[in-house]
Amino acid sequence: MKKQIALITLAAVLFVSCKLGNTPEEYIGCTTLNTNLLRDFGARDFNRMQSDKNANQLLVPDGNQYVPAKSFVEYNEKMTIADADEHLKKIEDLKVTDETKDLISNSEDLFTTAKKIYETDYVTICKMMDEGKPQPEIDTAIAQLERKYDPILQQKFQVLDAVAFPYAAKHGIQLEKN
């Protein structure tokens, strides 16, 4: 009985200790590498959505399978916003240390900003696409979106990179500029 209690206690301690820290690779993966998902912001994103819809490949989760999205708004909600939420959760789950606090904070800021755009301006453009608005009208809205937010996002990418690259180099992780 004492052996079993000792083994259970050891297993619990190991489990907890594994959850208390993250590897440098995990920090970089969650905070920096996952930002690649945000690099198609704006026209590239909407063009991909349109292309996927035309090929009947604009898919959303439905239980344990993927089905064609009924609308661009549905896709934005179930994929774009959901992905941002998922990545924010992973970032929030990282253990904050003195060495990683700026890395985590800057990444959260970038993803939070992107998520707000997905929940507002992206929804507006998706509705326009769903309503069959003329393409020049949609293109104008996308161009306005890019003019408004691209400088903000680029600045946030730069702030994150300013912390991520030295952290990665210190830990022997090679990063490439996008």
| Domain locations in the chain as residue ranges | 22-170
d(CA 95, CA 100): 8
Each residue of 18-51: b (16+ CB within 10 Å) or e? eeeebebeebbebbbebbeebeebbeebbeebee
The tokens for 155 are 């600045």
pLDDT tens digits for range 72-124 = 999 999 999 999 999 999 999 999 999 999 999 999 999 999 999 999 999 99
- Cα distances (Å, whole numbers) of residue 10 to 13, 18, 125: 5, 12, 54
- Cα distances (Å, whole numbers) of residue 93 to 19, 117, 119, 153, 178: 10, 23, 23, 23, 26
DSSP codes, 28-57: HHHHTGGGGGGTTTTHHHHHHHHHHHHTT-
pLDDT tens digits for range 10-35 = 334 433 433 457 999 999 999 999 89
